[in-house]
Chains A and B, each alone.
Chain A
Amino acid sequence: MDRSEIIVELIQKYSSPPNLGETLFRLTEGSYSTGPPWTVKQFMEVTEQRNIQCIVAYYENQLIGYAILSVLPPEAELYLIVVDKKFKKQGIATLLFERINSYLEHVQVDSLFLEVRKSNEAAINLYQKNKFEKIGERKNYYSHPREDARVMIKKIERRKEQGLSTDTRDFMKRVRILAIETSCDETSVAVIEDGEKILSNVVASQIKSHQRFGGIVPEIASRHHVEQITLIAQEALNEANLSIENIDAVAVTEGPGLVGALLIGISAAKAIAFAHGLPLIPVNHIAGHIYANQLVRPLTFPLLALVVSGGHTELVLMQKDGDYHIIGETRDDAAGEAYDKIGRVIGVPYPGGKHIDEMAQKGEDTFHFPRGMMKENNYDFSFSGLKSSFINRVHNAEQKGEELNKEDLAASFQASVVDVLVSKTIRAAKEYGVKEIVLAGGVAANRGLRNSLSKAVEEQLENTSLAIPPLALCGDNAAMIGAAAYVEYKTQHFVDYSLNAKPGLELS
């Protein structure tokens, strides 16, 4: 066998062979004395997971070996490494390990773990030869037959500048992502370099159209996106002074949002990725709002993000890039939604938030509306009580012919919303000991909220910084999608063209 004919490569998720699960299962069948550890279905499911990477070895177009890893930098776990019976003892495993090593270096993993049956001496020898060390045992870890596992670790050392692997060198080059956002009523396309530099960020707003109807009409939003999409994409490339050949990946919002609207961005992103053979990266819209701050300065972890918009009110704890844990959320209306609804009651144009904020600056909190769930021992929110209380107060006055000061109404409403948001955020920041608080989402543009949160962080928290995005990055935009996509680019979380819109997508 001619060893130079062996190809070892990382399978790209967006172009993985359709029957990969089955191929892997067949190869495994012949190689395990205890039978394949997974079923075909399990192979298929595992290889589709975002954090799973598959490195394969081919000889004369035949799959002769593979390794499956779970990668969550800075750690990774080797699930399986298998070599075809006919090709054993020919150094295929070592070739796989070399490729694993260079890949893990590239995605900044420092420890690789594995478990192995205690009695499997051949495997243990192989692992030792490849610099794995024993760090412990797990009793009765395996079944059929029942047996202890030996846990082993390998430290991945990063090579210095001179000896950079090809992967690392590719990785060091500037990465330009074309990002598309169409989740609601803004068509936006941006070009972002290395997840932090905006080369362009073009946003077309449909707000004037929806103002005719007093709120967003989903079908009309979809129609406007089709009118705009290629035009805005072309402008984004023009402004960045780049052509599509300079782009390394295409990112798009997959959810949450309006399904018909999301589909326009997704269809366009797929077409661009397919036409130019570029990887396709799906991005969660909320993650985008959080990463808008990365375009100003690097995020510091652990961080707590307060995400407030027309559709969301969430407290998100992040220990590291791409790791989201929702510790609190609204049980009814989103904060922005409450603004729009009471805006209608006091007769300001849609969307109400900006107008209420302006009026609130001129009034005072004289109505003392309730602070929903403020004292409760959790990080959830509720704005429906406040909304009802506000509407009742206005209706009562109307019935009695009493004139209420609209600016005081606005100021009182805003004070209630801001009080709850700020107090819960500060409490959570203390409990989780975060280094940074990040404000994100459309309502991050609200002056009352920006001021109160800045003041509270300054007065009540030591060693915690506050990141507030510039106004231009508070509303929906594609730059933030490009910033969040870069995190996924680094770990090669790419998807194939069956990507669909996920209107109810949650952060995970």
Chain B
Amino acid sequence: MRVLAIDTSNQVMSIALNEDKKLIAELTTNVKRNHSERLMPAIEKLMKEVNWSPDSLNRIAISKGPGSYTGLRIGLTVAKTLAWTLDIDLVAVSSLKVLAANIYAEGQLIVPLFDARRGNIYTGLYKMENGSYVPLEEDTHISSKKWAFYLSKYKRPMIIVGQDIKKHEVYFKEELADKVKMAEDEWNLPRASRLATLAYEEKPVNVHTFIPEYLKLTEAEETWKAAHPNEVGGLYVEKI
């Protein structure tokens, strides 16, 4: 089985090609550049490099979020359109789980995080069990201060992974003291090679209805919901 894995959920752009659980090629960049201009040329180039044609793909794997809204949508639109037009499987993995999967240590509690601005983070809590990454808490959008306090109830050693930790580490050190350590720098970037490996365990999603996990409503919707608590929503998009 040939898998193309894509992660553009944050500043890092990572793509990987995996055949029958063997990594064939991977490209990961950690620069502030535009995913829209670079993603498709990078996929084309990497596939050419290893002589894979688009129609030889069997599965597309995508990091579904949370993360930067625009970044998520670029990767996810490319992924779902490829899966649709090539008529192949699309599998989606939490972008936090992908990051957590950088830490390979049985039984370890892992806290992946991305900065979400204004003192907030996207984060979760995973445990490696029998080679799988099991979520102990749901992925969430929360202030790093609150999250650090919440995690302290576990009273167990944890490792934090993610390159945005520098902005928030003071709270974790305060609340978790010697129970917490930070991942080595090179493990802090989401890697599509890990996503591709996780993708073999996942069930395919419905391509057409698949959308990113933003974990957060837009401000306009939050305000509107507060003003209209009894509206159930409904069909906001219709064919004309």
Q: Is the CB of A204 within 8 A of B36?
A: no
We find that the number of chain B residues with CB closer than 8 angstroms to chain A is 40
B69 within 8 A of A: yes
A238 within 8 A of B: no
Please give, as numbers and ranges, the residues of chain A lying within 8 Å of B37 by CB-CB distance: 498-500
Q: Is the CB of A208 within 8 A of B76?
A: no
Interface residue ranges of B202-240 to A (CB < 8 Å) = 207-209, 211-212, 214, 218, 220-221, 224, 235-240
Partner of B208, one of A187, A234, A268: A234
Nearest-CB residue, chain A, relative to B90? A230
Q: How far is the CB of A121 from chain B (nearest CB, A)?
A: 45
Q: Is the CB of A497 within 8 A of B40?
A: yes
Q: Is the CB of A219 within 8 A of B218?
A: yes
Partner of A224, one of B208, B220, B236: B236
Please give, as numbers and ranges, the residues of chain B lying within 8 Å of A465 by CB-CB distance: none
Q: How far is the CB of B27 from chain A (nearest CB, A)?
A: 14
Q: Is the CB of A267 within 8 A of B81?
A: yes
Q: Is the CB of B81 within 8 A of A229?
A: yes
Q: A234-B208, A260-B70 known; A266 and B36 CB under 8 Å?
A: yes
Q: How far is the CB of A264 from chain B (nearest CB, A)?
A: 5
Please give, as numbers and ranges, the residues of chain A lying within 8 Å of B211 by CB-CB distance: 223, 226-227
CA distance A217 to B69 in the complex (A): 14
Q: Is the CB of A270 within 8 A of B78?
A: yes
A426 within 8 A of B: no
CA distance A85 to B160 in the complex (A): 62
CA distance A226 to B73 in the complex (A): 7
B137 within 8 A of A: no
Q: Offer 11 A-B interface pairs, CB within 8 angstroms, sorted by A.
A: A204-B240, A208-B236, A224-B237, A229-B81, A230-B80, A234-B84, A260-B73, A263-B73, A267-B74, A275-B85, A475-B240
Please give, as numbers and ranges, the residues of chain B lying within 8 Å of A271 by CB-CB distance: 40, 77-78, 81-82, 85
CA distance A475 to B221 in the complex (A): 26
We find that the number of chain A residues with CB closer than 8 angstroms to chain B is 45
Please give, as numbers and ranges, the residues of chain A lying within 8 Å of B36 by CB-CB distance: 263, 266-267, 500-501
Partner of A206, one of B54, B78, B237: B237
Nearest-CB residue, chain A, relative to B38? A498
B138 within 8 A of A: no
A272 within 8 A of B: yes
Q: How far is the CB of A82 from chain B (nearest CB, A)?
A: 28
Partner of A270, one of B40, B69, B212, B236: B40
Please give, as numbers and ranges, the residues of chain B lying within 8 Å of A475 by CB-CB distance: 240
- Secondary structure at the A interface, as helix, strand, loop or mixed, is helix
Give per-residue flags for B65-97: 1 if the beta carbon is below 8 A from chain A beta carbons, else 0. 000011001101110111011100000000000
B184 within 8 A of A: no
Interface residue ranges of A139-179 to B (CB < 8 Å) = none
A505 within 8 A of B: no
Please give, as numbers and ranges, the residues of chain B lying within 8 Å of A452 by CB-CB distance: none
Q: Which of A267, A268, A277, A497 has the most CB of B within 10 A?
A: A267
Partner of A264, one of B41, B54, B77, B239: B77
Please give, as numbers and ranges, the residues of chain B lying within 8 Å of A244 by CB-CB distance: 85
Q: Is the CB of A276 within 8 A of B34?
A: no
Please give, as numbers and ranges, the residues of chain A lying within 8 Å of B185 by CB-CB distance: none
Please give, as numbers and ranges, the residues of chain B lying within 8 Å of A266 by CB-CB distance: 36
Nearest-CB residue, chain A, relative to B79? A271
Which 8 interchain pairs have the tightest Cβ spacing? A209-B236, A497-B40, A271-B81, A267-B77, A230-B84, A270-B40, A268-B81, A217-B220
B44 within 8 A of A: yes
B43 within 8 A of A: yes
B55 within 8 A of A: yes
Q: Is the CB of B77 within 8 A of A229?
A: yes
Nearest-CB residue, chain B, relative to A475? B240
CA distance A19 to B43 in the complex (A): 18
Q: A219-B69, A222-B69 known; A205 and B238 CB under 8 Å?
A: yes
CA distance A133 to B86 in the complex (A): 52
Q: How far is the CB of A497 from chain B (nearest CB, A)?
A: 4
Q: How far is the CB of B33 from chain A (nearest CB, A)?
A: 11
Q: Is the CB of B220 within 8 A of A220?
A: yes
Interface residue ranges of A227-252 to B (CB < 8 Å) = 227-231, 233-234, 244
CA distance A227 to B221 in the complex (A): 17
Interface residue ranges of B12-67 to A (CB < 8 Å) = 34, 36-41, 43-44, 54-55
Please give, as numbers and ranges, the residues of chain B lying within 8 Å of A268 by CB-CB distance: 77-78, 81
Please give, as numbers and ranges, the residues of chain B lying within 8 Å of A209 by CB-CB distance: 236-237
A447 within 8 A of B: no
Q: Which of A233, A274, A475 has the most CB of B within 10 A?
A: A274
